[in-house]
Structure formats: structure tokens, C-alpha cells
Amino acid sequence: MQKRHINPPKKIDLVIRAARKLFVEKGFRGVAIPEIVKESGVSVGAIYLHFDNKEKLAQTVYQYTLDQFTEQFSECLAGRETAQDKLSAFAELVFELTEEDPDMMEFMLSACKEIRSHLIIPLCTSDAFTEVQQIVKRGITSGDIKAGNYFLTAISYTGVILRAADLRLQGIIEQPLHDISAELIDNAWSSISAAPLPS
Amino acid sequence: MQKRHINPPKKIDLVIRAARKLFVEKGFRGVAIPEIVKESGVSVGAIYLHFDNKEKLAQTVYQYTLDQFTEQFSECLAGRETAQDKLSAFAELVFELTEEDPDMMEFMLSACKEIRSHLIIPLCTSDAFTEVQQIVKRGITSGDIKAGNYFLTAISYTGVILRAADLRLQGIIEQPLHDISAELIDNAWSSISAAPLPS
DNA sequence: GTCTATAGCCCGATAGAC
DNA sequence: GTCTATCGGGCTATAGAC
């Protein structure tokens, strides 16, 4: 759908990564351009050559992050057949990214809220999240997932998963999510499953 | 525990309310003191007489908001007996506040994340949220709620509820939460309930 | 294309009259 | 206690050398 490349030329990529890291640490308005210069090694002039302004830069960071997530989610879905398996794949990806690339995850979940542009796509209408909604929709049709408003069902599942990721990113959950993912995924699935789980 | 009053003298209250509204709209760093002056009708000097600096003001707003929520939650619990009823009361309060006092709810959920003070209490260790955890803990003991880590169980329930509130505040959910609260509360409870629901 | 230097603006916090 | 006026600092974005 979007034309952006996941691997843009090196310098731009450096700027995006550095900006994302700093946005997560200090918030969009808390980061000054000179800091991005220091973190990325790219000069002010070069940054403004590639991005119209700070806001545009942040939007690019957001789109870059969304694309990254969507691509990884697509890969994770390979070989997953049932709705339950596909949703588990979503949860596992979220948990893995939370541990391995916390900047990315935190930016996706909350740092981006500071960018108040009207043009920005809300997370839950992004490709990966609409795909989750479609998985749920088909799961309802096939009888695996309880009947109901598919959007509400989808956010119930993702609500459990994303809240855990959020609390882990804030340092409130101290264990790696991998250690507790089974319990969380079980809770999330229970919230939307059609049949009671066999004990 | 804390000594703050819920109803401080009028002028301070005006400043807190105005600041919270603006923080939600534009973020902590996006709000200039002169704007708070205009919104509250209280002058710069008066603001700095009562609050050491902008950061302290934000912390006061946060504590004020938490106290407000805790007090209302306590009232809502009156007459609720079972764990399920008590958690429903939590959910209903969140939904009601999301509709009736969106500034308060949005500030509590996310605007406060911008205040990076080390002294700030995370939401889920605040009085109201630790109370939810205790409700869950007792529910596990009594057999109403499935066995497991009580903290993870609590965040699973609240995850469903808070995500719905968040999406409503962002305008992504278009119906008033009251219209869909039954389905959401059912999903949240299913995620942690010990027994399968009777169909 | 890439850099440094700086113009121009706005903000937080204070000083000092009332 | 409350106000207005203002200072000093730090920011974004640009200008202009290389």
C-alpha cells in the first residue's frame, strides 16, 4: 500500500533510528535537533535536506516503525492455521519485540501519541492491526471465536497483550515476557474463545 | 496515605483543571505557562507562588487525578460482593469517566507518561489499582478466578478495559462506551474467570 | 550533498510594583 | 497574595561556505 522502503539509504536510516531512540527517551518535544545530530552522526543540514521539518521526521519514524512491524508480523503468520495460532503469533511477536527492540515497541505504543498530526494513521487502523481484526472476523465465522462485534473482540485480545508489553517497557513487570507469555496468551485467548478451555 | 486534599482552595483547583486540560490537548511540553494563565484566569505570579515549577505542577495534577479516581472507585465498590461484581464496578467507573470526564481519564492513562520524574507513582501501583490486584488475589483464593500470578491476572482484566477506554478517547470507537460495556466486561471477565460461563 | 554558524522566536522563571 | 514586565536560555529552521 505505502511506497516507503523498509531499508532506506544508510544516512536516513541512521537518523530515523536515532530519532526514534531519543523520542522514546524524552518525548517528541523533549528532543532537540542537535541531539539527533549527536546520536546519529548526521549533521543538521543533512537532516533538513531529507525531512521538511521535525514533525515530518517524526511521521516518517512512525511509518517506518509500522512498516517494520507489519513485515515481521507477515513472516510470523507463515504456517499458522487456526485463528488461535495466528493470534498467538501476534502476541509472541509483540513480546519478542518488546524484549529485543524496546525502542521500536515503545514508540509504536505510546511515544507516537505526541505527534498530533491529523494525517497520522492510528495504530489500530494500520495494516498489521487490521489483519488481526480480519483474523478475528474469520474466527467468529468459523466458530472458533465467540460471536460479537469483531472489532471489540480484537481489541480485547490485543488489550491483554499490549498492556503487558506496556508494563514491561515501563519496568513494572520485571521478568522477561517470554517467561510469562503462556499465561498471558491463555488469558487473552480466554477472553474471546468460543468454547471453554478443556481444563 | 497521601495528605493532599481533593478540594484545594479555588484558585489552585482552577489551575490544576486548566493545566490538565491543556496537557491532554498538547502534551506537557507543548503547553506554555501563559496558556495556562489564559485558560485558568490565574496569573503567572500566582501560579509560581503555589507551584515550584512546571514539573511540580504536573506532578500535582497527576496526584490530584489519582486521588480523584481512587475516591470514586471506593464509592463504586459499596455493595459489591463478589470479585466479578467488584471488577465490573471498576470497568463501569472507567467507562463512565471516559465519557463524562475524558480529560481526567486521558491524563491518567497517557498524558502523564510525559512527566519523567522518578518520584511519580506508576498508575498500576496507585491505590485504586493495587486494590484491583487485591480483589483479584482474593478471587483466586475463593476459587472465582482461575489460578495464576495475580498481578498478571489483574492486568489482563484491566488491559481489556483500559484499551477500550483508550480507543474511545482517541475517537476510534465511535459509540459511547455505555452501549458496549456489557460485551467488553464479559470479555474481560472471561479472560480471568475460573469457570466457563454458562452459555 | 554536506557542513557550520546564526537568525529569529518562544518559553520558563523571576523581579519588583501594588 | 496577586499582578505585569522582562531576562536569559534554548529551540527550530535557514543561509551560505565548501
Mind giving me the DSSP string for A13-39?
HHHHHHHHHHHHHH-TTT--HHHHHHH
Task: Please calculate the CA angle A169-B25-B58 and round it to the nearest 5 degrees.
Answer: 65
Q: Provide the pLDDT for residue A4.
A: 42
Q: Shortest CA–C1' contact from A32: which nucleotide? A: D11
Quickly give A46 CA vs D12 C1' distance in Å. 15
Rounded average pLDDT over A69-96: 97
How deeply is B3 buried, as exposed, middle or buried, from its count of CB atoms within 10 A (0-12, 13-18, 19+)?
Answer: exposed
Task: Work out the mean pLDDT of chain A and round it to a whole number.
Answer: 92
Tell me the CA–C1' distance in angstroms for A4 and C2: 24
The predicted-structure confidence for B65-83, as pLDDT tens digits, reads as follows: 999 999 999 999 999 999 9
pLDDT score, position B2: 37
Judged against a pLDDT cut of 80, whether residue B148 lies above it is answered with yes
Over residues A98-102, the mean pLDDT reads: 98
Q: Which residues in A have their CB inside 8 Å of a CB on B?
A: 26-30, 110, 113-114, 116, 122, 124-125, 148-149, 151-153, 155-156, 158-164, 167, 170, 172-173, 180, 183-184, 187-188, 190-193, 195-197
CA–CA dist B174, B168 (Å, integer):
7
Q: For residues A156 and B185, is the Cβ–Cβ distance under 8 A?
A: no
Pairwise CA distance, residues B168 & A81, whole Å: 32
Helix (H) or strand (E) holding B153: helix B150-169
Using CB atoms, pick whichever of B187, B196, B197 lies closest to residue A156.
Answer: B187
Q: Mean pLDDT, to the nearest integer, of A54-83? A: 96
pLDDT band at A121 (very low <50, low <70, confident <90, very high): confident
How much is the pLDDT for A9?
62
**pLDDT tens-digit readout, A132-156:** 999 999 999 999 999 999 999 999 9
C-alpha to C-alpha distance for A143 and B188, rounded to whole angstroms: 20
Contact A159 B155 (CB under 8 A): no
Instruction: Residue A173: list chain B partners with CB under 8 A.
Output: 151
- pLDDT band at B9; cut points 50, 70, 90: low
Using CA atoms, how far residue A166 sits from A158, A162, A177, A190, B110, in Å, is: 12, 6, 11, 20, 11
Q: What is the CA radius of gyration of chain B?
A: 18
> Footprint of strand D, using CB within 7 A?
A 31-34, 44-45, 48, 53-55; B 11, 42-46, 49
pLDDT band per the 50, 70, 90 thresholds, residue B117: confident
Q: Within a 13 Å sphere around the CA of A153, how many CA atoms are in the beta-carbon half?
A: 25
Spanning CA of B117 to C1' of D1, the rounded length in angstroms is 29
Whether pLDDT at B4 is above 80: no
Q: How far is the CA of B20 from the C1' of D4 (A)?
A: 25
Residue B156 to residue A153, Cβ atoms within 8 A: no
Residue B95, all three cell numbers: 467507562
For chain B, the domains span 58-190
Closest approach of A172 to chain B, Cα-based (Å): 8
Q: Are B64 and B9 in contact (CB under 8 A)?
A: no
CB contact under 8 A, A163 and B164: no
Q: How many CA atoms lie within 13 A of B32 on its CB side?
A: 3
Q: Cβ distance B28 to B115 under 8 Å? A: yes
- Is residue A118's pLDDT more than 80? no
| Residue A156 exposure: Cα atoms within 13 Å on the Cβ side | 31
- Residue B184 is nearest to which of A29, A152, A188, comparing CB atoms? A152
Q: Pick out the nucleotide with least CA–C1' distance to A43.
A: C3
Between A175 and B118, the higher pLDDT residue = A175
User: Which of A116, A184, A195 minimises the CB distance to B156?
Assistant: A184
Of B29, B191, B197, Cβ closest to residue A187: B191
Inter-chain CB proximity A187 and B192 less than 8 Å: yes
Q: Looking at the domain covering B58-190, what would its CATH class be?
A: mainly alpha
CA neighbor of B42 nearest in space, from B66, B18, B74, B21: B18
Express as a percent the part of chain A with pLDDT over 70.
92
Q: Closest Cα to residue B169, out of B115, B95, B119? A: B95
> How long is the CA A26 to C1' C6 vector, in angstroms?
26
Segment A64-79 mean pLDDT: 96
